[in-house]
Amino acid sequence: MTLATDQGKVTFIRGLHNLQSYNQRSVVTIGSFDGVHLGHQAILQQVKATAAMLGLPSVVMTFEPQPQEYFSGEKAPARLMRLREKIDALLEFGIDRVVCLQFNRVLRNLTASEFIYQVLVDGLSIKHLIIGDDFRFGCDRSGDFKMLAEFGKNCDFDVQDTKTLEIDNERVSSTRVREFLQQADFGRASQLLGRPFSIKGRVVYGQQVGRKLGFPTANVQLNRYSAPLTGVYAVLVDIDGVRYQGAANVGVRPTVGDLVKPILEVHLLDFSGDLYGQRIEVEFMHKIRDEAKFTTLDKLVETIQQDVKQIRAWFAGAKSIESSDNKG
C-alpha cells in the first residue's frame, strides 16, 4: 500500500513477496529511526545530499514492528515515536520516500546475503546505501559494512558508512534520549533530539473519568506496552497552531485500574471545547510527580487540584524568568 502525503510518499509493505522493484535507482538508508534524533538527522542529511548529487530519490527503509519489539515483545524499550510520528518527521526532513517493511518471521530468517539480494537489490534497486557505523543485518547478524561493500562491487551499488555523532563526549542515541526522559531532564533530551520532546496523536473517546472528576481530559492512545516517561507533567498543547498550558498524566491510571497499556491524558487549563478527533501535539515541560494509586477518588481529586495549582505556579515562574531574560 502506498500512502501519498503533502511531503512525499510512504510505502507500507506487509511481506517480502510484496516488495516490488522500483523502476528508478535510489539512495537508501536503513534503520529504526526511533525519535529521529540528531544522530539520525546527520545520516538523513547525507542521504539527501547524495541523492541530490546523483539526481536520484532519497529513500528510508524502516520496519514495523521495530526489530527489538519483534524479538523482545513487551520487554522492548519504549518507543519515542509512534509510526505515524516517525514517518511525518522523516518526510518533513525532506526524504522523498519512506518504505516500511513488516518485520516478521520470513524477514527475520533471511541470511545476510539473502537480505542484500531480495531486499536491497531486487526490492529497492539501490544505487547508493548509507548506513550507521554499527549497522548489522541477517539472521545471524553476520552482515556488516565490509560485506555490503563486497556485494556492491558485483551488484552495482556503492556503500557509505557514517560516524557516530557525539555531544559532550557521549553518543547520541535513542537509548540516551530515553534515559533523559525518565529522569525528566527535558533540556538534555531536547539537545539530543534537536527539538523539544513531544507526543502527537489524535484525541479519542475515553470513559469520561476525568470529566466526572471535574477535570476533563483529551486522551491520546500510545498503542504500546510502555511509554518513554510516566507521571504527571506541566505541558504545552498545540491545537491548530494555538498553544495552551496543560496538566498531563502518562500511565495506566492505577486508581481506576482499567488499563494495561499506558495512555496520555491532558487537562487543558482555561480551555473549553470539543477536541474529539483532532490531532494535538503535547510538549513536556516539567515533571510534577510520579503516577500514584490513591485509596479513594476524593483523594485523587484533591491531588489533581494540587497538581494543577503547582503547574500554574510553574508556568507563572517560567514566564517571569523569560520576561527577565528578555529585559536583560
What is the pLDDT, as a whole number, of residue 206?
76
What is the pLDDT, as a whole number, of residue 14?
61
* Average pLDDT across the chain, whole number: 88
What is the pLDDT, as a whole number, of residue 190?
97
In whole angstroms, give the CA distance from residue 98 to residue 316: 42
The letter for the amino acid at 225 is Y
281 and 200 in contact (C-beta within 8 Å)? yes
What is the pLDDT, as a whole number, of residue 135?
87
- CA-nearest of 170, 169, 194 to 45 is 194
Block residue for cell numbers 510520528: 85
Contacts of 149 (CB under 8 A, 6+ apart): 159
302 and 308 in contact (C-beta within 8 Å)? no
| Each residue's pLDDT tens digit, 98-119 | 988 889 998 999 999 999 999 9
How many Å separate Cα 176 from the centre of its chain? 14
> What 8-state DSSP symbol labels residue 208?
-
Asked if pLDDT for residue 61 goes beyond 70, the answer is yes
What is the pLDDT, as a whole number, of residue 123?
87
Q: pLDDT class for 193, splitting at 50, 70, 90?
A: very high
- CA-nearest of 97, 193, 174 to 132 is 174
Task: Encode burial over 19-42: b for 16+ CB neighbours within 10 A, e otherwise.
Answer: beebeebbbbbbbbbbbbbbbbbb
Kindly give the residue spans of alpha helices, DSSP state H, lying in the chain: 38-54, 67-72, 83-92, 105-108, 112-114, 145-155, 174-182, 186-193, 209-212, 297-327
| Each residue's pLDDT tens digit, 203-236 | 998 777 777 787 889 999 988 878 999 999 999 9
Q: pLDDT class for 303, splitting at 50, 70, 90?
A: very high
Which of 6 and 69 is assigned the larger pLDDT?
69
In whole angstroms, give the CA distance from residue 126 to residue 21: 10
Which stretch of 3-12, 45-54, 95-104, 128-137 has the lowest confidence by average pLDDT?
Answer: 3-12
Q: Phi first, then psi: what are they for 326, rounded to 5°?
A: -65, -35
Alpha carbons within 13 A on the beta-carbon side of 190: 12
Asked if pLDDT for residue 275 goes beyond 80, the answer is yes
Which residues does residue 242 pair with via DSSP β-bridges, in sequence order?
Answer: 239
Q: pLDDT class for 256, splitting at 50, 70, 90?
A: confident
The domains located in the chain, with CATH, are 2-166 (3.40.50.620), 185-321 (2.40.30.30)
Q: pLDDT class for 259, splitting at 50, 70, 90?
A: low
Asked if pLDDT for residue 277 goes beyond 80, the answer is yes
Which residues does residue 243 pair with via DSSP β-bridges, in sequence order?
Answer: 238
Neighbours of 145 (CB within 10 A): 17
**Average pLDDT, stretch 186-202?**
96
100 and 83 in contact (C-beta within 8 Å)? yes
**Average pLDDT, stretch 40-52?**
96
What is the pLDDT, as a whole number, of residue 4?
43
SS3 readout for 264-325: EEEEECCCCCCCCCCEEEEEEEEEEECCCCCCCHHHHHHHHHHHHHHHHHHHHHHHHHHHHH
The letter for the amino acid at 192 is L
